[in-house]
Amino acid sequence: MSDRSRDGYDLFTDPARVDVDAVHRWLSQESYWAAGRARDLVARSIAGSLPYSVWRDDAQVAFARVVTDGATFAWICDVFVDSGHRGHGLGQWLIDSIVADLSADGLQRFLLATRDAHEVYRRSGFGPIAGPSRFMEIDRRPTRNTILAALPDAE
């Protein structure tokens, strides 16, 4: 039984309903932020997060995960919609579902990062970070070009 359904799509929050192979393929081969990410890292990241999966018939078609303390803060990441299912509002549905579910649990702060989907997230209530100068990071990820150049059969 899905958590919710819409237009022939089913949304699940059960970790057992994540097709790790599909998510790994999307992230490692099609995303700009996780190119080359190893399958074991994808599996571990899912195991340590709250996963949201959208299915149509017998195939997973979208994914997002949430890293949270369950009380004050949530980082929404690895949002991905399969190219054959884009344009149906699935990304918006994922984000709205996550925000609604965790808001019902009392969370008040949500964070995410995007290069090119600002409008999708803006429709869910996201805006620029207030006081971005307060945020700091260590980012040791290789760049996408470096990763792609190191992959076999890279052009």
Going from the N-terminus, what domains does the chain have, and what CATH number goes with each? 4-129 (3.40.630.30)
What is the tens place of the pLDDT at every residue in 61-102?
999 999 999 999 999 999 999 999 999 999 999 999 999 999
The string of pLDDT tens digits covering residues 91-139 is 999 999 999 999 999 999 999 999 889 999 999 999 999 999 999 988 8
pTM above 0.85, yes or no: yes
Q: Residue 24 in contact with residue 13, Cβ under 8 Å?
A: no
Beta bridge partners of 54: 11, 62
Q: What ranges make up the beta strands (E) of 19-136?
A: 50-56, 59-68, 73-81, 109-111
